[in-house]
Amino acid sequence: MRHIAIVGSGPAGYYTAEAAQKLWGDDVCVDVIDKLPVPYGLIRTGVAPDHQSIKGVSRRYEKTALTDNVRFVGNLTIGQDVTVAELRSFYDAVVFATGAPHDRKLGLEGEDLANVFGSAAFVGWYNGHPQFAGLDPDLSGKSAAVIGMGNVALDVARLLSKTECEFEGSDIVSHALVALCGSSIETVTIVGRRGPHQIMMTPKELGELMHLERASPRVDPADLPDVEEDVFLEPGLRKSVTLLREFAAIPESERADKSVEIDFDMFASPVRFIGTEKVEALEVERTKVENGRAVGTGEFYTIPADLVVTCIGYRSSPIPDVPFDERAGKFANTDGRILPGLYCVGWASRGPTGTIGTNRPDGFSVVDRIAEDLAAGTIGGVRSGRAGLDKLIAERELDVVTFRDWKKIEQAEEAAAREGSPREKFVDIEAMIRARG
C-alpha cells in the first residue's frame, strides 16, 4: 500500500489525488490536508464569485474526495499542529499543493498607506476568506486604480463596476455585496507597464466588460499599435487586442448613460503611492516597450486613486523545514522534487502561472515522479500512513474536519443563501466548525 499526504485541497491537490488513484487504484491511500475546515482552495476563495461555471469544477474534486481511499482532513495546519518531519515519517510521499496565497509586493514608497491592497487580500475579502473577511476597504472615493494586466485585474475592475442586480446568481459574500453596492467609485483605472500586445487578459474576461449595465471600458486609440501588427499574435491574444480596439471605438454617445468608466492606462509603470494616511493618487512613469520590456521615458504623471488594488502576482507560504526559494516565492524544487519523499505541485511548484486546468497535468507529473522514486527505492519502506496521523491527532486532541463534516457546512451555507445566490459562505472558522453539528 502506498501512503500519500497532499497538503492543500485546491485544484492541484485534488488533481494529484486523482492521478494517484489512476496509477495505483486501490493500492494507495491519500490524505488531502488543509488548514481551513473547507476544501477547494482557489475555487472557493480565488475564482470570481460571478464566475459560477468555473467553480463547477469542484464537482470533479468531490467525486475524487468521496472515494474510499481518499479522505479530507481539514482544520489541520502542517508546520504548526503537525510537523513536516512527523508527516514524512507516516507517508511514503508528502506533496505540497498549497498554492500561492500571498501577494507579491511592488516595494514602492507609500505601499503601506491605508486603502492599498493586494489582490489576494481584496479577492479574499469579497470571496469570504476567513483571513481577509475583515478587510473593510473604503469605497467612498470617486477613483480606483487596479495595477496589473491579467485576468485578476479584470475581475477586480468588473466587480467594482457592477450593479446589485448584476451580482444575482453569484456567491459573493454579503458584507462585500453591501459595500460594493454602496460604492461611490466612478472611475476604475487599469494600469499596465506595457502595451496591448503584452497583456495577459483572455478574450472571455475582456468581453464581459462590454455587457456591464452601468460601466463602459475605454482605451486610448494612441496606445494601440498598427492593426497590421496583430497578425503576428497568437490567436487568443489577437482576440483580446481586437476587443481593446472595440473599446477604443465606442462612441461617446454610448458612454453618456454610463456612470462608471473602466479606463485602460497602458505604458504606465507605478512609481509611488501618494497620500498622507490614506492613498490619494498613484504616480506613474510613461514607458515604451523595447524587446518586450517596459522602459521608462522620464515622463511622470499622477492618476487619482482613493483605492488601489495591486494584481501583480502571488507568493507561496514558507513552511518550517521545507526548502523555499524566497526570490521566486515558491518551494525550492526540481521538477516537483524538493527532498526525498517531499514534493510540490501547482503554483507551489512552478509559481502562479497557468489556468486551473494546468494543474491537472502537473498533478499527474508529480505522481509519476513519486512512482519513479518508489521504484528506485529512494523513498518508501514501512509506513503507518493515516493510522499514524490519526494517532497523533488523537494524542494532541486536534479538532479536524472530515469531508462528511464539510458537506454539513455546505448544506448550512446553501440554506442561508440569499435569493438568487447558491450559498452564503461562512467567513469565520469557528462558525464553520459549529455548522458541522
pLDDT number for residue 368: 97
Instruction: Write 165-169 long-range contacts (CB < 8 A, 24+).
Output: 165/213, 166/50, 166/212, 166/213, 167/49, 167/50, 168/420, 168/421, 169/50, 169/52, 169/420, 169/421, 169/422
Q: Which three cell numbers stand for residue 289?
A: 516597450
Are 110 and 276 in contact by the 8 Å Cβ rule? The answer is no
Which domains does the chain possess?
Answer: 2-101+316-435 (3.40.50.720), 103-310 (3.50.50.60)
> Stretch 422-434: mean pLDDT, rounded?
96
> Stretch 220-231: mean pLDDT, rounded?
96
pLDDT number for residue 366: 98
How far is the CA of 11 from the CAs of 83, 172, 208, 416, 429, in angstroms?
A: 24, 20, 25, 26, 21
> Stretch 289-304: mean pLDDT, rounded?
96
Is residue 437 scored above 90 in pLDDT?
A: no
243-278 per-position pLDDT tens digit: 999 999 999 999 999 999 999 999 999 999 999 999
> Stretch 293-303: mean pLDDT, rounded?
97
Q: What's the start-to-end Cα distance of the chain, in Å?
A: 34
Are 307 and 137 in contact by the 8 Å Cβ rule? The answer is yes
Q: Which three cell numbers stand for residue 432?
A: 464553520
Q: Is 57 left (phi over 0), alpha (psi -120 to 50) or beta?
A: alpha
pLDDT number for residue 354: 84
135-155 per-position pLDDT tens digit: 999 999 999 999 999 999 999
Instruction: Using pLDDT thresholds of 50, 70 and 90, give the confidence band for residue 237.
Output: very high
